[in-house]
Structure 1
Amino acid sequence: MTWGKTGVSIGVVLALCGGLGGCATIAAGQCVDWVPLSPAEQEREASLVVDADLRSTDRTVEALGRYRVREAVITGVRKGHTPDDRIDVIATSDQCTSSGEPVEYVDGDPLAEPGSYRLYLTQQQAGGAWRLVVPGAAERLDDRRG
């Protein structure tokens, strides 16, 4: 009987330690399971939808990970409004993020290439940059011209 109770006690202690270790890991970073959205759903969920010419900057913002900031020069507003014709934009990561570390993307940063995009955005808290409503919520417009 004593060994049975001791075994259960050891199991509970190990489970608690493992759980607390997991909590510490979660507190240091964040994993989000994004729900894929169709373009119509992206537009519904976004507070701002714009066509814009994107340019790289040397700036980053911290939002549960270090994001590269792009400058978007607005060429058309499809939904919402912005007080300026230029806004800062970050591409939402599709990977787990860790505070202070650069974010990663499965198929690369969808805004890495300068050019014209339709962006489905929501306001980001940290740094004042707008972020894609879900990973990949950007449509390259350059490809439609030609």
Structure 2
Amino acid sequence: MTPKLYYADLSPAVRGTLLAIKALGIDVELKPVNLMAGEHLTPEYLKLNPLHTVPTLEDGDFVIWDSHAINTYLVGKYGKNDSLYPKDLQKRAVIDQRLYFDVGILFPRVGAIVGSLLREGAKTVSKDKADLLTQGNYYLIPDLIALLFS
């Protein structure tokens, strides 16, 4: 049975999962979710994912959401080797460190900025939201991106 990925193109998390799927070379049925129309809030979608987020993966009778969890699951189940998520604990710890940094620090801070622009109608980024990226020296975005992908 082909796994189904519920997704929205505008989601950076979805794009990360699509990259993992491509790197693994697996076939996935793509199921678009129109966030602007509220499809992620329908009773059917909430049965799959009570957090109403994308991406959500349905693999047979197993359902999981959150791109980080989906990606590591896909690598574990469909990976031909451990190059994307090594068994070596130190190498895996570095990958986990970057996954947790993304989910715990980077994504919420960038999300606050994007959310104010998209959902609140802001025309500029407020100083308090911009300051979120400078706390802890996170203002070095090019260096940060290089670190995440090194």
TM score, norm. by length of structure 1: 0.20
Indicate the structure whose relative CO is greater, using CA pairs within 8 Å and at least 6 residues apart.
Answer: 1
Which structure shows the higher helix fraction? Answer: 2
Structure label with greater radius of gyration: 1
TM score, norm. by length of structure 2: 0.20
